[in-house]
Structure 1
Amino acid sequence: MSKTVLVNVRTFAAGVDVTGVSNKIELSSEVEVKKTTNHGSGGWDEVVGGLGSAELAGEGQWEAGDVTKVDDGAWAGLGGLAPWTVSANNAANVGDLAYFMQAMRGDYKMFDAVGEVAPWTSTAKSSWPLVRGQFAHPPGTARTATGTGTGLNLGAVAAGKRLYASLHVLSVAGTATPTITARVESSVDNTFGAATTRATFAAATAVGGQVLRTDGTAYTDTWWRIAWTISGTTPSFLFAAALGIR
């Protein structure tokens, strides 16, 4: 991606797509600098990395009234952990760059002076690492039956690394308890002829978000995808998902 002016930052917070009600999104990460300077350092400071952290700060226009609105989502998530996934200037197509993390929404501010467009501001602080990965499922494609997503060549997972995944269920329709159970599969190549399930999200029947990761086991498979099982009567789901290795 070349130099760009930010005009279409896609942001998903748990089960809310805040893209259309946000006008500023800032994502930051840092690692603590810990000094290890000693008498053998030759007169120069020596440092090592300490604890890492990340934060997302956003603001925009206030809306309320159902679980897909920013105010409803903020109140439901205040003080709790949820996945946050952000892209830069794209429509969140499969393979688009994604940054995501599990984070706690630590604050929420709303409203302003008379005559102003009602605003909101909020921040979320990471509980897991900030992951740089790719979208594995686009938010605008409705799914009505069990299926599999497009494979991504993310590479092998080395020892001590993990495969991370975020899932944002943005809308649910149908009767007889429509349910979606998403999972992460891997394969040695893009055919997924012998796909292996590496992690499974909890079954979802309502708008919301989940994030998961593998247990630190090394995997030589280099291709990864999202797959899902859908049940219920006339079910339909809109969801976004991202995968990454860190």
Structure 2
Amino acid sequence: MGKFVLTNVRLFTGGADLTGASNKVELTTKIEEKETTNYSSNGYKELLGGLASTEIQGEGQWEAADPSKVDDASWTQLGGVGAWSMGPNGAAVGGLAYLTKALRCDYKLGDAVGEVAPWTSSGKGSWPLARGQFAHPPGTARTASGTGTGLNLGAVALGKRMYAALHVLSVAGTTPSLTGRVESSVDNTFASPTTRLTFTAANTVSGEILRTDGTAITDTWWRVAWTITGTSPSFLFASTLGIW
């Protein structure tokens, strides 16, 4: 990816797609500096890396009266920890994505008379920030069980984890249910895929993030798959995968 102008940043928190109500999104990750300077440091500071932290900040135009809107989502999530995904340049399959489990810790709305009603909010990471790719796009409706596109994300080394977020953005039908899962394979054929993670069955707008247990996984290809049941079900959802 070369240089580009920010015109299509995607932000998902839980089951809300805040893209259409956002005009600024910032992602910060940093490591604490712990000084270890001593008399053998030859006059230079010596530092060790301490605790890592992540923060996602967003702001834009206020909307309400639907679970997918920023006001409803912010009030529901405030004080809770959930799935956050951000794409700096769209949410197409294979597009760059950052994902984490974050605490929705603040929410601000309102301004002077005559101004477009604004909002600002942030999430502070409760898990590491993983860098990966979008595995399912938000604008493709699914009405039956299926599998997504395979992504060559690489093997998971011992002590590392595969992180996966699922954002269920809309639900329709009679008794609809969506159960997402993450599969891996030795190659892009997925002839004998292995299920690595399974999300909780969803029947409402919602979000969830999962991770593997830290054991090594030699498979290098990954995808999301889903099982859909119900009468005339239809789901819009986005999914991201990343290793950390």
Q: Same fold (TM over 0.5)?
A: yes
The 8 Å contact of residues 89 and 95 in structure 2, kept in 1 or not, is answered as no
SS in 1 for 2:9: coil
1:180 to 178, 181, 186: 178
Aligned residues: 244
The letter of the residue matching 1:16 is A
Q: 1:194 is matched with which residue?
A: 192
Q: Distance in 1 between matches of 2:62 and 2:43?
A: 54
The 8 Å contact of residues 89 and 96 in structure 2, kept in 1 or not, is answered as no
Q: Distance in 1 between matches of 2:241 and 2:87?
A: 13
1:101 has 2:100 as partner: yes
Q: Where has structure 1 moved over 6 Å in runs of 4 or more?
A: none
Q: Distance in 2 between matches of 1:58 and 1:148?
A: 32
Q: 2:206 is matched with which residue?
A: 208
Q: Distance in 1 between matches of 2:2 and 2:193?
A: 35
Task: State the 1:35 CA deviation.
Answer: 1.6
Q: Distance in 1 between matches of 2:95 and 2:126?
A: 24
Q: 1:164-191: per-residue Cα shift (whole Å, max 9, x none)?
A: 001100000000x201010110000000
Q: Distance in 1 between matches of 2:215 and 2:42?
A: 40
- TM-score of the superposed pair, with normalisation by structure 1: 0.97
Q: 1:164 is matched with which residue?
A: 163
SS in 2 for 1:71: helix
Q: Distance in 2 between matches of 1:43 and 1:186?
A: 51
Q: 1:21 is matched with which residue?
A: 21
Q: 2:147 is matched with which residue?
A: 148
C-alpha RMSD of matched pairs (Å): 0.9
Name the % identity.
Answer: 68
Q: Equivalent residues in 2 for 1:57-136 (5 A)? A: 57-90=57-90, 92-136=91-135
Q: Distance in 2 between matches of 1:109 and 1:78?
A: 11
Task: State the 1:112 CA deviation.
Answer: 1.0
Show structure 1 runs of 5+ residues with no match.
none
Q: 1:227 is matched with which residue?
A: 225
Q: Distance in 2 between matches of 1:3 and 1:150?
A: 26
- TM-score of the superposed pair, with normalisation by structure 2: 0.98
Q: Distance in 2 between matches of 1:243 and 1:52?
A: 20
The 8 Å contact of residues 97 and 134 in structure 2, kept in 1 or not, is answered as yes
The 8 Å contact of residues 161 and 215 in structure 2, kept in 1 or not, is answered as yes
